[in-house]
Amino acid sequence: MAATISPVVGSLVWVEDSEEAWLDGEIVEVKGEEIKVLCTSGKTVVVKTSNAYPKDPEAPPCGVDDMTKLAYLHEPGVLDNLRSRYDINEIYTYTGNILIAVNPFMRLPHLYDSHMMQQYKGAAFGELSPHPFAVADAAYRLMINDGVSQAILVSGESGAGKTESTKLLMRYLAYMGGRAVAEGRTVEQQVLESNPVLEAFGNAKTVRNNNSSRFGKFVEIQFDQSGRISGAAIRTYLLERSRVCQVSNPERNYHCFYMLCAAPPEDVQKYKLGHPRTFHYLNQSDCYELDGVDDSEEYKATRKAMDIVGISTDEQDAIFRVVAAVLHLGNIEFAKGKEADSSTPKDEKSWFHLKTVAELLMCDVKALEDSLCKRVIVTRDETITKWLDPEAAAVSRDALAKVVYSRLFDWLVDKINNSIGQDPNSKVLIGVLDIYGFESFKTNSFEQFCINLTNEKLQQHFNQHVFKMEQEEYTKEEIDWSYIDFVDNQDILDLIEKKPGGIIALLDEACMFPRSTHETFAQRLYQTFKNHQRFSKPKLSRTDFTIGHYAGDVTYQTELFLDKNKDYVVAEHQALLCASTCSFVSGLFSSLLEDSAKSSKFSSIGSRFKLQLQQLLETLSHTEPHYIRCVKPNNVLKPAIFENKNVLQQLRCGGVMEAIRISCAGYPTRKPFAEFVDRFGLLAPEVLDGSTDEVNACKRLLEKVALEGYQIGKTKVFLRAGQMAELDTRRIEVLGRSASIIQGKVRSYLSRRSYAKLRLSAIRIQSALRGQLARHVYDGLRREASCLMIQRHLRMYLARKAYQDLYFSAVSIQTGIRGLTARNELRFRRQTKAAIIIQSHSRKLLARLHYTRTKKAAVTTQCAWRGRVARLELRKLKMAARETGALQAAKNKLEKQVEELTWRLQLEKRMRADLEEAKTQENEKLKSALQEMQVQFKETKVMFEKEREAARRAEEKVPIIQEVPVVDHVMMEKLTNENEKLKALVNSLEKKIDETEKKYEEASKISEERLKQALDAESKIVQLKTTMQRIQEKFSDIESENEALRLQSLQSTPVKKASDHPCIPPIPSTPDTQRFENGHHTGEEDGANELQSATPVKKFGTEADSKLRRSVVERQHESVDALINCVVKNIGFSQGKPVAAFTIYKCLLQWKSFEAERTSVFDRLIQMIGSEIENQDNNDHMAYWLSNTSALLFLLQRSLKAAGTISQRKPPTSLFGRMTMGFRSSPSSANLPAPALDVVRQVEAKYPALLFKQQLTAYVEKIYGILRDNLKKELSSLLSLCIQAPRTAKGVLRSGKSFGKDSPASHWQSIIDSLSTFLSTLKENFVPPVLVKEIYTQTFSYINVQLFNSLLLRRECCTFSNGEYVKSGLAELELWCCQAKEEYAGSSWDELKHIRQAVGFLVIHQKYRISYDEITNDLCPILSVQQLYRICTLYFDDNYNTRSVSPDVISSMRVLMTEDSNNAVSNSFLLDDNSSIPFSVEDLSTSLQEKDFTDVKPADELLENPAFEFLHE
């Protein structure tokens, strides 16, 4: 696997490290065979050249999804690639067709939802990102296409996620081939539901995993010929029986023991249990509980799972009785008995547990004691009973516990298989093997020996498969591979299982001799295999031995090998349990009796396990294998921790490194021609001159560099190990020389540019400095002159200002005093006047509002009360309407009540109008009185002002020296009294106005309530009307039934019935009255009256009348046939409207089919439309019928209204009838344009017409969906080509040509052409624009979903150049939307928002400078965190090698994703396509309401038919 490198200073290499396994660095010094490397961690090391591995400088920072694409396929490269992908939550990676799954120890729900399964369905292996779904899909496709059974082998150490990967595989297989069974549970559901049961009894906590499977499991999923799951079976291997009796600290025993101890109190008391620390089999370890696991809840969940898989309650009780018996059995201790070498239960506690075991197993206590303390030896002559010493009795006790538990586990597996059921007719299956991985601990016993034997066997199978894949690859590329050696581990398998002389054979031989011990067994191994290169003896041990496995050396301790290998049931134990009164316990050992009767040969665990392993490998040999290697990144079981040494050891144990060694034995480096020329074309640029052939260019290039040992395939260049490093070394030398030349030129250019800039800067600084000095001198002179001028003007200004201030102060004081007096007087007058005006208006407004509300509330209250009374009456009427005889009376009573309610409503309206009028008059009176008082107040105020003015004038006339004024006290008192009266009057008026306002507000509230009640009453009237209509319909049905009964009674009379239509009256002789409704004649009012009063004989008429009626019916059928034969042809359009739809509507309207109770016309039309749209691939034909059906649906929507009553011959005369007609008036009729009223008119529709409308709506939606899906199907193949830019070689030839042959715009142009052609088809058939708009909106949404999902699932699409390619294609789509105009394109462009924002992000330069807020707020606001994280981690720049976003942004996204994964149910980053119908009949009707059908010309073929003369109208 080592690649010989030519050390060059500056080269990147990997060096081995004791702590981190491998460190990357740069060579800084070369000294012969030693190199000095500066690691990226800052550490400097000196290593030999042979111990260094080259590092690819062009490896993408996020790793590659298939490690066969690595330039250097070696340990450090593989490890670095896995770590790089794990850091960005890419936990799956391919190595060829092998999937490596690294346990993330966190929830990633977006990777496993239904959207993801849908994406992988049918996708080619390797096309999308690595995933277990891809492995399952590949297995399923091979099984279906080739008819060969498949096997998926899931391996890894404890805690690596094998069980979870198995569940994912089961989910996907269920998604692809699931089928429900009779009991309502599918086979795959039963298999998945059996997991909790098997985990409870077969899983335990180990040092490395809290839920480690201590058994192997092979799930066979059987399929029928159609690829549906038809059955399943679960095979288990090597349950770790010794764990029942021996547990190491800090591990735990099997989960079921702890669950039972944490069971509800009644169960604990029933089984006489307690805390786990009180039982010997559990207290050998200090660990009793698991973090985050509630054993009591797990007990309930296990019980529930047992119910689901079909284990009855009695069987469950028996199972847990056996589990409890095993726990009690471990607490039985033994002491020396009275006789020599005998034993007996030690104390009362041991006797208690002995009796409890006997009680739980339902066996005899004495027999149980004897089976534990004695042995019966049967000879030819006699039977000898031998006592066992305490140690032997304890061994016998543990043996009983182990055999009971193992038989219980086997019974559970058999029960689950019987519950699931197997398909004996199945020819193919998919097996999922969940097997333990390679184990190497400090103490390795017999279980590790068997587990590692399994992994050696599977590794050999794996190596053969990998070598086979290599052969297929070389054969496919047509290169010579005959000299490549195959790496095999057959020598280890022979060492372990060869007969005779293998380790297992020697172990069985030692178990057959009673005196054999582990020391003698170890010495036998040392003697037998002392010269074997894979076997060795540790120096400091006498009984241990070491085997050199493919994954490393493992030292085994032989102390318990013999005990654990013995697979026998003590005869006393077997007899005891078979004699149990519990049928469940005795049934566990029934098969043992049969086995012992069939064969008496020695049996061992090792031999049985080897046999099971052979059967498993035989099954696998008949299947096509697929491999999933699970890896545990750390031992602390926490996310975001990647331990290099731990992962590397698991890769070795999982055989990944073996696969790499096999690849390295041949041609580990395989580069497509274009990539090879792109990378190494600079080594010999002359080979690219004028050449367009990539193969010849590669050959000439390799010949030019004098490389040997390579091979040229059909599509790739195959290089031997080390040749890639040699080429890279030469490439680095060429790049180094080129870089030196470029650096010299750049430095020279930069120096010249720097000198020129410095010289120019100095000149500019000198000139600027001189100018600044001159300006400074000039500025000083100007300042001196300015100061003199300012001083002169300032002194003049100050003198003038002082005089003016003195002058204006005197004038201002005088003016201010006079103005203040005048303004105070004026302000007082204005305020008084304004207050009066405001008060008058506000009081008027409040009074009006109060009155209005009071009036409204009164009316509302009255209406509500009357509505309530009406509802009570309605309820009584409904109760009375249940009897048929009272229907007519209820109808009349309802009419009277509704009329009375209507009359009362009108009376209330009149009373409300009178009340409003009275209130208005009262308000007018109050206003007039208020105005009079205001006038009086003003007059009094004017008089008061006049008197004050007169008094002031009189004061002015008096000389100033007269100090005592003359005042008229009488006049003053009079004025004061009048003022007081006026104030009192004003106050009283204000109070009255306030009271009036309050009353008005109350009245308004009451009137509002009454108005609301009146509205409720109106709605109740409508409901009453509807109810009465239903009653009338029931009454009509009863009358028709009575009529039918009368007709049946008349059949026995001698009167001859001449017609099958008893309801057809005699046809009048005048042609003007000959109007038929699909064979049903409709006469005038007198004809109807005659029909009702006629006798049965007159009703049926004569035989001639019957013949006449039959001829009319035949003519009617002929007319329908003629109509259908005409419209099935493409009769085109008239004035942009479909002729067929208009013709059908006119005929139905003329024949009055809408008003017929029974007719077959609608069924004929529906059958005709259904047969016409069977050819779903013809878009032109489908568009024609979409246009016709939508137009016909529009006409029906405008014309039909549900018939509420029996067809009436004369307009209603009663009040109720007039109200009903008013209520039934269609509001949509007001929107019809005036010219269309002659064509579209409303009719009373019966049930057949309404059903026809519903069926027609369904056909419109169906045809719409067919056209939309046809367009999607046409675009789907093109979209897969548009998501990735056609590859062109980076090394452009000097002639100006490149190796790329695809036109980048051809695929996008095909999409544009498809959209334009489809739009032209829709326009030619005059499909309504609303439907066209919805079709393209959903199609563009589909384009957005397909492009965006492909972008997230394929790493090669998340590149800079691919973003530019897709962006150019989106620009073409935008241009098409603009050309198609808003009428047809609508919001289609907005549907591409996800892919537009994603592509916009890909083509942005310097992404590492963008913050997370800028991405989420400005660049990609609509994308979720999961989607952004996926794009950022998959992105790489294949043009300029620029970086993606900064690590801080990636960390922020990862934190948010972790938070979201804990809160949300599903965090899928994929989009889902919406295939719903986005429009309703109302939307279609609204969009077509402007259509005028008056100018539509009917079909010419029907115009010539005399039966269709009405079309000329």
Positions marked active-site: 158-159, 163, 209, 212-213, 437, 439
- Distance, in Å, from the CA atom of 561 to the CA atom of 519, rounded to the nearest integer, reads 11
Neighbours of 911 (CB within 10 A): 13
- Distance, in Å, from the CA atom of 64 to the CA atom of 1436, rounded to the nearest integer, reads 11
Q: Which amino acid is at 444?
A: N
Written as six digits, the tokens of 729 are: 């070394």
Find all residues with CB under 8 Å of 1004, minimum gap 6, and list them: 849, 850, 851, 852, 853, 854, 855, 856, 857
β-bridge mates for residue 150, sequence order: 430, 624
- Distance, in Å, from the CA atom of 1150 to the CA atom of 1243, rounded to the nearest integer, reads 11
Written as six digits, the tokens of 699 are: 């050959």
Helix (H) or strand (E) run with residue 153 in it: strand 150-155
Per the CB < 8 A criterion, the answer to whether 538 and 339 are in contact is: no
Neighbours of 241 (CB within 10 A): 22
Closest to 1464 (Cα-Cα) out of 1472, 1473, 1456: 1456
Q: Is the dihedral of CA 780, 782, 784, 786 positive or negative?
A: negative
Q: CA angle, corner 76, sides to 70 and 82, nearest 5?
A: 65
Find all residues with CB under 8 Å of 531, minimum gap 6, and list them: none
Report the Cα 1265 to chain-centroid distance in Å. 23
Q: CA angle, corner 1443, sides to 1438 and 1447, nearest 5?
A: 145
862 three-class SS: helix
CA distances from 1486 to 168, 1193, 1232, 1310, 1330 (A): 50, 12, 10, 35, 10
Helix (H) or strand (E) run with residue 1462 in it: helix 1447-1463
DSSP letter string over 1412-1449?
A: HHHIIIII-TTS-HHHHHHHHHH-B-TTT----S-HHH
Q: Is the dihedral of CA 129, 133, 139, 145 positive or negative?
A: negative
Helix (H) or strand (E) run with residue 857 in it: helix 723-880
Written as six digits, the tokens of 1296 are: 């100006």
Contacts 24+ apart (CB under 8 A), 922-926: 923/844, 923/847, 923/848, 923/851, 923/996, 926/847, 926/992, 926/993, 926/996
Report the Cα 534 to chain-centroid distance in Å. 53
| Phi, then psi, of 1173 in degrees rounded to 5 | -100, 15
* Token pair 């490395």 in the structure block, residue: 208
Per the CB < 8 A criterion, the answer to whether 1451 and 88 are in contact is: no
- Distance, in Å, from the CA atom of 1281 to the CA atom of 727, rounded to the nearest integer, reads 34
- Distance, in Å, from the CA atom of 135 to the CA atom of 1152, rounded to the nearest integer, reads 64
Written as six digits, the tokens of 1335 are: 């079709």
CA distances from 114 to 159, 186, 188 (A): 26, 18, 16
45 three-class SS: strand
DSSP state of 1205: S
